[in-house]
Chain A
């Protein structure tokens, strides 16, 4: 047991209450950092600009739990991806988080791509990922019978799994709240100043004082960074478009299929989702806008063609959804995570597509920086472990529970009780997107033809940003 740390020595007249740590940004990284610092005994607040958590970069990704086999060697990214993966595997059951234990295949479609395998195998070995090996084409056919026969060569990558990209960060946030953390939404940090050794963060919902600030602002990272210093990096939002196929396609995708990566991106992935769909994406398109992420028909058609090239039977399957996400890339190849002791500030920036996997590694690393530079930790003796409801297709869902009420969403089999639960509790959905992410309602094949009116009418008066419904 460590000694009990003294109460924070910063009391600012213009901010009440005062926290030991303020986390700016409620994406997956911010949620994980909030959890770890709270469990480390710190009084924390998380400030999110959106009406709900996960409304920025964490809203859209491929939801793969990476091994880091192809991450840049000796990078911070690879070590945090691997630490994050280990920690997810060790805590996911206690938080009720699902894991779909697929493996991945990296498939070369040309001899030139296949020629890169020795280099990738060496990298996997350097990165300490066991079991990555070339497999003969007949074994490939056995593992993935629906794959196009145009494959030239393939590697198998054991341990690349699929997780729930939204329940995971929500579980981190809920555990933080259950152990005393505070989360404020619709709280964009408009200004940040230091007064008497304490940060005062100005938001539309009041001022928050904090001893240390942790910048997890994702696509707004450099703007937030400028409160502490001239940002040494620039966020270059990179858009990724995705297409989701109907659940009837799931039997066509027993594993993740990765392309051979190029210098710039990991390329277009085809994989199952935890919800029982098949996903294809992302593209990699640089843009200036930090918020808007629209899709375009030509690109979506290209993704569909790419999916059908890899798994020809997908050409017959229906499209359930399309979306675009923005990953907060910077001009650097690696994550940027550093403490500024003089400024009482920690920067967490440039967390790109691997952020979902790395989040718990990043939060552990950040907790180390906090202890090293700022506050002595006093880990909670018996933290509370709340569980999140399961939304994964391969595990029991609420609609199977005897005594359940009516169904609201038929495509995703969401019950009225599930909607009700997502609208109440310590972290109720703040907007319609948040409600969908918590329940799956309206995310299925009919996209709300049947349930949109029901969920909007149930939710309307209870959301942080009310819907524009006219009576």
Chain B
């Protein structure tokens, strides 16, 4: 098996990873490899077609795809490898990669895990009922809409009232579709009441708190959802169920390496310098906890890169 050496391997080419790679280059660190499993870097902002990106790190407001493009442009000339998936991070920083030319290993002095998050699936939420077509997450819905120009449902129920839930209105409206309702088992809204009021009065989509799914109906496609609240049960016709928010840090590599997980954040345990329990392995961005803005992640990526550079200098000085 081919084996390479790198000073730093960054796993994940989203806002955190791209910003870390750029920062490392700015400080003159050589032998940095950025590994991205998708065919294009940029991370989740690529499928967030709405405005709101770039405020914290670039000082201007952009859409997700434009912001992602800008981040990518900043890493021109760096060793960015797309469609390379990391399958394991071994002790001491041995990174195992599945690349288009086969499997290989990189012996890295330091590793930065910037693998981001995903939304908790219907299954992981232990949702009751069947599994007809039309059950998905907000992220998946956005990918349908912004990457492939189609949507799998016209009138879904959206589960969750974090701000991301309301992004489904913006995603679906390009197709002349809209959600039937927002529901949340939490008795209070998880976002500003203005957002829910706007959804209700501008778009005609109500939000019901203290309400949860009792069953998903339908054989081939979703035909309805039986919702339950303290007032009782009722069946709402719909053709999809979109689960939003309730983020899960993508900690697979951390867990597989048996590094400690923080029970509160569900991300890896780190110190003040983004270092996990393994001295060579660092983590930054949304893999550390639930979703924060892309700008916050980008700034964290930069800070982690500086921390790693300082650490490398210190350890090289010792030798």
Complex CA–CA separation, A214 to B168 (angstroms): 50
| Chain A 431-471 near chain B by CB (<8 Å), digits 1 or 0 | 01000000000000111111011101100000001011111
Output the nearest chain A residue to B153 by Cβ-Cβ distance. A468
Interface presence of A297 (CB below 8 A): yes
Complex CA–CA separation, A322 to B120 (angstroms): 13
Binding stretch for chain A, among B13-21, B70-78, B105-113, B138-146:
B138-146
Complex CA–CA separation, A448 to B127 (angstroms): 16
Binding stretch for chain B, among A102-110, A141-149, A286-294:
A286-294
Contact check: which of B130, B137, B153, B261 meets A293 at CB < 8 Å? Answer: B130
Known A410-B37, A447-B122; judge A467-B133 contact (CB<8 A): yes
Complex CA–CA separation, A294 to B216 (angstroms): 9
Contact check: which of B130, B139, B151 meets A470 at CB < 8 Å? Answer: B151
Q: In the complex, are the beta carbons of A448 and B149 less than 8 A apart?
A: no
Interface presence of A246 (CB below 8 A): yes
Q: In the complex, are the beta carbons of B130 and A294 less than 8 A apart?
A: yes
Contact check: which of B39, B124, B147, B216 meets A319 at CB < 8 Å? Answer: B124
Binding stretch for chain B, among A40-48, A360-368, A399-407:
A399-407
Binding stretch for chain A, among B94-102, B278-286, B287-295:
B94-102
Q: In the complex, are the beta carbons of B37 and A457 less than 8 A apart?
A: no
Interface presence of B175 (CB below 8 A): yes
Kindly identify, within residues 49 to 80 of chain B, every residue whose CB is under 8 Å from any CB belonging to chain A: none
Chain A CB within 10 A, most for which of B37, B123, B150 = B123
CB neighbours (8 Å) of A452 from chain B are: 136, 140, 143-144, 152
Contact check: which of A293, A321, A401, A471 meets B149 at CB < 8 Å? Answer: A471
Size band of the A side of the interface? 35 or more
Interface presence of B128 (CB below 8 A): yes
Known A316-B261, A449-B121; judge A457-B148 contact (CB<8 A): yes
Interface presence of A79 (CB below 8 A): no
Complex CA–CA separation, A291 to B218 (angstroms): 11
Interface presence of B131 (CB below 8 A): yes
Interface presence of A323 (CB below 8 A): yes
Contact check: which of B130, B151, B252 meets A445 at CB < 8 Å? Answer: B252
Q: In the complex, are the beta carbons of A470 and B136 less than 8 A apart?
A: no
Known A294-B129, A319-B123, A402-B102; judge A448-B148 contact (CB<8 A): no
CB neighbours (8 Å) of B182 from chain A are: none
CB neighbours (8 Å) of B100 from chain A are: 402-406
CB neighbours (8 Å) of B133 from chain A are: 432, 467-468
Nearest Cβ on chain A to B226's Cβ, whole angstroms: 11
Q: In the complex, are the beta carbons of A292 and B130 less than 8 A apart?
A: yes
Nearest Cβ on chain B to A444's Cβ, whole angstroms: 9
Interface presence of B271 (CB below 8 A): no
Known A318-B248, A447-B123; judge A406-B143 contact (CB<8 A): no
Known A407-B83, A432-B133; judge A402-B37 contact (CB<8 A): no
Output the nearest chain B residue to A446 by Cβ-Cβ distance. B118
Output the nearest chain A residue to B256 by Cβ-Cβ distance. A248
Interface presence of A320 (CB below 8 A): yes
CB neighbours (8 Å) of A319 from chain B are: 123-124, 126
Interface presence of B87 (CB below 8 A): yes
Q: In the complex, are the beta carbons of A301 and B103 less than 8 A apart?
A: no
Complex CA–CA separation, A323 to B144 (angstroms): 25
Complex CA–CA separation, A321 to B140 (angstroms): 17
Output the nearest chain A residue to B212 by Cβ-Cβ distance. A297
CB neighbours (8 Å) of B255 from chain A are: 246, 248
Interface presence of B235 (CB below 8 A): no
Known A248-B252, A316-B261; judge A407-B37 contact (CB<8 A): yes
Contact check: which of A321, A405, A410, A469 meets B85 at CB < 8 Å? Answer: A410
Q: In the complex, are the beta carbons of A322 and B101 less than 8 A apart?
A: no
Interface presence of B272 (CB below 8 A): no
Q: In the complex, are the beta carbons of B150 and A457 less than 8 A apart?
A: yes
Complex CA–CA separation, A293 to B128 (angstroms): 11
Complex CA–CA separation, A452 to B255 (angstroms): 24
Nearest Cβ on chain A to B116's Cβ, whole angstroms: 10
Interface presence of A114 (CB below 8 A): no
Interface presence of A375 (CB below 8 A): no
Q: In the complex, are the beta carbons of A453 and B220 less than 8 A apart?
A: no
Complex CA–CA separation, A290 to B28 (angstroms): 66
Contact check: which of B101, B153, B175, B219 meets A291 at CB < 8 Å? Answer: B219
Output the nearest chain B residue to A400 by Cβ-Cβ distance. B103
Interface presence of B239 (CB below 8 A): yes
Q: In the complex, are the beta carbons of A469 and B150 less than 8 A apart?
A: yes
| Chain A 401-424 near chain B by CB (<8 Å), digits 1 or 0 | 111111100110100000000000
Q: In the complex, are the beta carbons of B147 and A453 less than 8 A apart?
A: yes
CB neighbours (8 Å) of A406 from chain B are: 38-39, 83, 100
CB neighbours (8 Å) of A297 from chain B are: 126-128
Interface presence of B221 (CB below 8 A): yes
Complex CA–CA separation, A293 to B215 (angstroms): 12
Nearest Cβ on chain A to B123's Cβ, whole angstroms: 5
Interface presence of B296 (CB below 8 A): no
CB neighbours (8 Å) of B139 from chain A are: 449-450
Interface presence of B277 (CB below 8 A): no
CB neighbours (8 Å) of A308 from chain B are: none
Nearest Cβ on chain A to B278's Cβ, whole angstroms: 16
Known A320-B124, A410-B85; judge A469-B102 contact (CB<8 A): no
Known A402-B102, A452-B136; judge A465-B123 contact (CB<8 A): no
CB neighbours (8 Å) of B152 from chain A are: 452, 456, 467-470
B contact residues vs A (CB 8 Å cutoff): 37-39, 83, 85, 87, 98, 100-103, 118-119, 121-124, 126-131, 133-134, 136-137, 139-140, 143-144, 147-154, 175, 177, 215-216, 219-221, 239, 248, 252, 255-256, 261
18 more CB-based (< 8 A) A-B contacts, given A400-B102, A410-B85, A468-B239: A295-B129, A297-B126, A319-B126, A321-B121, A399-B98, A402-B100, A405-B83, A407-B83, A407-B85, A413-B85, A445-B124, A447-B121, A448-B140, A449-B136, A456-B152, A467-B152, A468-B152, A471-B149
A contact residues vs B (CB 8 Å cutoff): 246-248, 291-297, 300-301, 316, 318-323, 399-407, 410-411, 413, 432, 445-450, 452-454, 456-457, 465, 467-471
Instruction: Show 28 A/B contacts (Cβ-Cβ < 8 Å), sorted by A.
Output: A292-B130, A294-B129, A294-B130, A295-B128, A296-B128, A399-B98, A400-B102, A402-B102, A406-B38, A406-B39, A406-B100, A413-B85, A445-B252, A446-B121, A446-B248, A448-B121, A449-B118, A449-B139, A449-B140, A456-B152, A465-B220, A467-B133, A467-B152, A468-B133, A468-B221, A468-B239, A470-B154, A471-B149
